[in-house]
Amino acid sequence: MIFKWNDKYNLGITSIDKQHQQLFVLGNQLFSIISKGDEIDNYDKIMAVLEELKNYTVYHFNHEEELMEKLNFEAYQTHKNEHENFVEKIIEVEAQNIDDNQNRITMQIIEFIADWIQNHIVKSDHQYKNLFIESNVE
């Protein structure tokens, strides 16, 4: 397991914490796929997780953005831009020749997720924490 959940990731907002934990699950799935060695063809598995990652992203970002908009979160636009960059990165990765570079590209996504956790979840998502909690978001 490469991604381990701990308290510093918790916002104390149940729906969002659950969704963030799902990102850890997907990151760990990718890591476990490539841990089995690069002589195995993992293309279908990698693509399946990427698809899930995209669905997760759409669902989770919409959830946050709807709440931010409703509660007039001041950094809404900046935050939304960060979400859009994430989606663009996934699309960019998918446009590469994944089949011939399975482990390298998967590692790239894992690093991207790790960076996202430290910079977006720990920093940007924590900026709306108090507002959401005061507004009784669950």
Binding site for Fe ion (CB under 5 A): 64, 125
Distance CA 79, CA 72 (A): 12
Distance CA 20, CA 113 (A): 11
Give me the least distance between CB of 79 and Fe ion, in Å please.
Answer: 6
Residue among 16 and 105 whose Cβ is closer to Fe ion: 16
Residue among 64 and 110 whose Cβ is closer to Fe ion: 64
Packing angle of the helix pair 43-70, 14-35 (nearest 10 deg) = 160
Give me the least distance between CB of 96 and Fe ion, in Å please.
Answer: 25
Cα diameter, the chain:
52
Nearest residue to 18 (alpha-carbon basis) of 10, 27, 8, 26: 10
Q: Taking CB positions, which residue lies at the least distance from Fe ion? A: 125
Residue among 34 and 64 whose Cβ is closer to Fe ion: 64
Give me the least distance between CB of 64 and Fe ion, in Å please.
Answer: 5
Give me the least distance between CB of 114 and Fe ion, in Å please.
Answer: 15
Distance CA 30, CA 109 (A): 8
Residue among 18 and 104 whose Cβ is closer to Fe ion: 18
